[in-house]
Chains A and B, each alone.
Chain A
Amino acid sequence: MASPVSVYNSNAMDTRISSTSRDSLKMELLADVSLLPGEDRITDKDIIYICPFNGAVKGKVLITNYRLYFKSSEADVVVILDVPLGAISRVEKMGGASSRGENSYGLDITCKDMRNLRFALKQEGHSRRDIFELLFRYAFPLSHSLPLFPYVTQEKFEESGWTVFTPIEELRRQGLPTNKWRFTLVNKNYELCDTYPTLLAVPYECRDEDLKRVATFRSRGRIPVLSWIHRENQAVIVRCSQPLVGMSGKRNKDDERYLDLIREANDTVKLTIFDARPSVNAVANKATGGGYEGDEYQNAELVFLDIQNIHVMRESLKKLKDIVYPNVEESHWLSSLESTHWLEHVKMVLSGAIQVADKVSNGNSVLVHCSDGWDRTAQLTSLSMLMLDSHYRTLRGFQVLIEKEWISFGHKFASRIGHGDKNHADQDRSPIFVQFIDCVWQMTKQFPTAFEFNERLLLTILDHLYSCRFGTFLYNCESARDQNEVRMKTVSLWALVNSKRESYLNPFYTPESGRVLYPVASMRHLELWVAYYIRWNPRIRQQQSPVEQRYLELLALRDEYLKKLEELQRSDSSPSSRLANSSSSSATSPSTPSQQYTHLQTPL
């Protein structure tokens, strides 16, 4: 990143170094880097950063076991880079010892967070060998049998983020169990399904043995289980993986019966099965043993939602990166943007979620799956739950939503992100979670008062999705997390978030329950999330929302007036009773809001 620009940027990484005064430049360049507890310096070196916006900048780079830090040594150009090693997807040597041209010899670093970094070194004495090897080693610790940084860090927070979500509490909050839905621990030892959590909510009448038989017919044993239940009409969102129909068109009576039980639970006439895939893909999956529910499922209707797979999404975001980094495609911006199809994919995900939410709010139970039920399914269920349940729109609730629908239900974060893994071309990598956060952002744009959290939270989540500072997004599923004792040995991202709660709050949040949000899923109303995708471009000034900006100004104005008022009253040598009155009244009745706001000032 070239220099922190916006409020958001500068806070994106919480440990950003703020002191950039000229004096400090004269001292040891890297002396003032504040490291995390447990973070160790590995090496530092004089280097040239080839800034795509400013040209070559001389400076020093510091590599720790957590970050790559660069600071320019030139007095007139202050460039600071602070990149968690986790964000690095690829490190390559650029040029050779004999290559010509200025700054043609060095390192080329590709990051997962929409930017690339280039460093140049002197072409003498294998100057880059050490740094390349160290960087490679610490950026990809798993490939070098090193522990991930979350296991090394000594960071402590007052609140342990791991208590934010407990499955049983969340299900109870939804009003479960009921006489139609029960809890089961059949997966206690991850025997039924190794990518599911241990506690599952299933139809009351379904015995555990039935579940086991259903599991044989669902890909990877990911049986339909309850994600969310509507308090009033008892309609449910159930998630699972594709049925193992195969070429021969196999059937499974238990599965059919199971789906019917789900339907009957609230007397839904027809259970709607949302298959997130395009129908072509669903058909193609039959060849590999998968498929979709056929006519044998009476009382069910199948709807394909036409959302593309992880590979399409990965390529789409790659195209988007190409047009925004390092330089924004100028001449045909809108058609270039269109040709990435990124917004269109966002639209498809959103409109799928809208359909799910609409069904459920009208009292119809739905079943959502894709192929394995951990990518598109997670997007759809979590987004529709966000639309349906205002609890998930609070700061805490959103954490629960991510913990529940993404982490505990086995979105393969490790594979999709590739934490600490050098295999940058891994076909399993895909920005599915980024896309989900984008959808959430679109919703916050369209309903600016409906969410308790602000854009900064979303940016923070995405930063730490890659950073490897917290254990939250490590590993593919709960069983792996248990095995690696993530909750024992690492810190949760939510510990950080909840320790600085105020900075993630939306001042315009208007609590409102029982409302269903239906965003407009139309290209006419979707926007590119400039503050995330183009944030490294210093030419893009981060646009604060007008309302927020206005709010801040009003706060400033209020403080100014308060100060003036105070001064006036103090300077007035003969305080009249009238003045005393007015000051006291300002402190009492009308200031209820003021007290409410004071704590909001700091973050914004």
Chain B
Amino acid sequence: MLTGSKTTFKVRQMLPDIKERMLSQSGMNARSRDVFGLRCLPGECVLQRAVMVRKKLSAREGRGWLSGTLFCTHFRVAFVPQDSPKPDDNADPVLLGDHDVALASIEKVVVVGPNRTKLVTPNSSLKFTPEELVLYCRDMRVICFLFDRLTPDTQVLEMTYTIAKTYQPPKPGSVLSFQNAALGSVEMKQFLSNRRRDSHMNWCESVSDWEQELERCGASGWRVSSVNDRFEMSTSLPRFIVVPQKVLDTELKKSFAHFNEGRIPRWCWRHPRGSDLLRMASFQNNIYYEKDDVRNLEMVLFGCQSSLCVVVELGEELPSPADIQLAHGRLRSLCLGDISTSVSVPDDKWLSSLESTRWLDYARSCLKKASEVACLLRGSHLTVALQEAEDRDMSCVVSSLVQVMCDPHCRTQRGFQGLVQKEWVTAGHRFYSRVNHHRDNDKEEAPVFLLFLDCVWQLLYQFPSRFQLTNDFLLALHDSVHLPLFSSFLANCQRERCKRHQNSGQSYTPVNGWRDTLHSDSSPDPCDPPLPPVWDWALQYSQQRRDAFTQPVPPLPPAQPLLNGNLNTNPDSHRSDAVPGSVFLLSRGTFSCPANLLPWRGSGGSSVYKKSHRRAASSENVPGLERLLKAWALTELPCGLGSSSSSRPQGPLDPYEPLLPLLTGPCMGLWRECYLRGALHAQAFSHPVSANHAHPVERLAREVQQLKDKLAQVSAGTPHSPPPAKVAEPRRSDTNLNQNTNNGTFLFPAQRPQGPAGPRAVPAPTSTNHQTSRGPPPSSAPPTRPAHRDAGGSNKQSFLFGDLSAREQQQVHYYAATSNAKLPKGSGSSMAS
């Protein structure tokens, strides 16, 4: 296989010999095959294998090194730890193991030799044998493999070349081949087409989905309209939109023309106090308004509220997609550093460099805007309409942030997934262009969604106990965005997704008058593999890792809010079902009522407007609105100062009280667990894996769970309580313990490994606990147990990477729990009684 001398190797063309290089190829009929311990996907070929490789573990994985075998297939770089449990052939295929990297995630391949580092490209030839292989990933992971002396040189070189040649350099067309490598086999297609959707979340795709959401929010007065069922009204809007009940479809149809891309005001969410959140694109100004149009438009805009509508303009104070792209690029290069160029920001300039990325500024401005909107919504009966030119970027961010802040349901994993479906996926955030997997339009690329995730993390960071979802979940979502496998992120709107599903455009043909936003190369190809939605986490993550997506015991306010729209006790809500009242514009924190806010109310439509005797927005309302915003400013001050109660009531929290984050400099955090995951400046350090006693939080969580179960039991036994509808989920305890030993204690460097049967062993938790029905037995616990061999002297200038916010890790690991951690219905209601 090698040409040239021992020290110089020329890389051969890949295509001719790829077949012969394939060490194995799982057969067509074998569902999956275990090749040297690697469980291949159907149709997956192992191209190269290197033995005696060590993988550097990140802080989250516990640090240290893990020995095993490295594989390169035509879909991923896989790493199988030495004594990992034998894969279960009957289990469903998991695309990526815990230590694997999809080729499409790799951005850069760098090797480290005796005294040098080199960026490896598909055409590189190496003049030295690498000692270390570093994979820089698009999702900001940096994965590092160390070749042992015992790894045969040829394997090292071949592995490097193979990865360099097969990873997907960003170019148009490579995505499809990657998708085919992952999902293209007959078995995979079959497997995927048999997958069931998660029925516990709202997909916001069908009429009933939307009706369910309306019901959940207690949004009376609204209905689901299928006027856009065939995308005739707006190509980028979903098939079903929610509009005021009193507006007929025929009336509605006339409104589309007045908005950019036909994106008329639509309902998003109702605050439990009765205010509605709407979003819309900017007005088309140059269109003639008929009298009826104006009436219809106002009916749509005012929604169910009659008196007050605040239009929140999102253009001005928020970053543009180009800003976000630029900031994210700076953040990437700042956090990743670069081993190949040795350019990394000196430590003493870290803070100012971080500031100059402006990433945190942008996150702050999004949160600020969302806080303002949240404050308006909680105030009284009014309609808040988010307006953005295209209504496809920042309005996704703001509308979903508002809901995360105000609606506890959106802070659960399932609720959050539904939210992303509602405000991003079906609402037509242009994931295809913004993520730019196909590299066909770099100008449009902008990680708007990632900025949103950062904002959510900021909220999680400031209100950790108000979330049921965890940092692990956000990370998983963050990383999945960079994997071009999921239908959720590979289309610009629902119409494109539908087209793809239908295999041809037969059902949904674009209608004249609307420009076709489809990209030419995404035209449906019957050979394309069916793409799963990102929410099918089992495709990517093991049960154990999915368990860590939620906290074991839900945050105090029950995760299932029953919003009925009647929480309002606000006396200053003057409802009148008469004509719409005032419209205000909120911009830069102040309210105004510019004459041309509603184009039809300007000179052109003034006659109509006068006839309908609507007064210009009365300025009496302005102070009221400003008070709402001021209320926010005051919540920044503790009540002790702002009001007479010197200490904030720590009593039962109103679950719908919005989470208003603090936005001053010292309060904005950096998502270190995400952006600094791969930072190479901190050296690996051997660390112990011992201590088999659970973390106090863990123990307490378990105890609480037991109590809850018992409560459910007891209340089920009493006659006046509901039957034990669901017996409380037994919490996994074994898995958790093991997780603990792996993750919780890396904080302490070991001097010598401690036997697993330490004297402090917790009085056998399993004996008092429910037997877990899920989770592997302890022996099959995560194979991340790092080797102890380098605990000796090789650690001279290595520092134990204390933690990237160990709090977070802890929280995540210690709480790792079953995926549906909702209160069992039985116990929940009995508690309420």
A-side interface residues toward B, CB under 8 Å? 2-5, 10, 20, 22, 51, 53-54, 75-80, 324, 328-330, 332-335, 337-338, 341, 343-344, 347, 354, 358, 362, 443, 445-450, 507-508, 510-512, 514-525, 528, 530, 534, 538-541, 543, 545-547, 549-551, 553-558, 560-562, 564-565, 568-569, 571-572, 576, 578-579, 582, 586, 589-594, 597
Contacts and interface: CB of A to CB of B under 8 A. Distances in A.
B636 A539 contact: yes
B714 A568 contact: yes
Contacts of B769: 590
Contact of A530 (B464, B666, B672): B666
10 contacts: A2-B641, A3-B638, A449-B810, A512-B691, A516-B751, A524-B672, A539-B636, A539-B664, A561-B710, A565-B707
Interface residues on B, range: 35 or more
Interface in B705-724: 706-708, 710-711, 713-715, 717-718
Q: Identify the 3 closest CB pairs spanning chains A and B, nearest first.
A: A333-B665, A446-B802, A546-B464
Given A557-B553, A590-B768, A334 B707 contact: no
A354 B801 CA distance: 12
B695 A558 contact: no
A597 B695 CA distance: 13
Given A53-B641, A338-B349, A522-B347, A565 B696 contact: no
A524 B347 contact: yes
A80 B646 contact: yes
A507 B752 CA distance: 26
B355 A547 contact: no
A551 B714 contact: no
B556 A553 contact: yes
A109 to B, nearest CB: 20
B739 to A, nearest CB: 15
Contact of B637 (A330, A511, A538, A554): A538
B464 A534 contact: no
Given A22-B644, A333-B665, A553-B465, A525 B815 contact: no
Contact of B806 (A448, A539, A549): A448
Given A450-B747, A593-B700, A562 B640 contact: no
Given A332-B355, A524-B679, 7 more contacts: A78-B646, A358-B797, A508-B696, A525-B802, A525-B804, A568-B830, A586-B710
Contacts of A77: 641, 644
A332 B350 CA distance: 14
A82 to B, nearest CB: 13
B796 interface: yes
A546 B711 contact: no
A592 B763 contact: yes
Given A338-B348, A539-B662, A3 B682 contact: no
B465 A338 contact: no
B205 interface: no
A572 B691 CA distance: 43
A328 B695 contact: no
Nearest to B670: A524
A549 B646 contact: no
Contact of B355 (A54, A333, A507, A525): A333
B556 A547 contact: no
B807 interface: yes
B764 to A, nearest CB: 10
Contact of B638 (A329, A510, A538, A589): A538
A530 B802 CA distance: 20
Contacts of B496: none
A354 B799 contact: yes
Contact of B711 (A343, A510, A554, A565): A565
Contacts of A586: 706-707, 710
Given A75-B644, A523-B348, A590 B703 contact: yes
Given A522-B347, A539-B662, A362 B555 contact: no
B286 interface: no
A3 B707 contact: no
Interface in B170-217: none
Nearest to B633: A539
A591 to B, nearest CB: 8
Given A549-B465, A550-B811, A449 B768 contact: no
B354 interface: yes
Contact of B695 (A3, A5, A510, A591): A510
A576 B717 contact: yes
Given A76-B643, A335-B351, A520-B799, A554 B682 contact: no
B803 interface: yes
Contacts of B551: 550
Contacts of A517: 747-749, 800, 802
Nearest to A443: B802
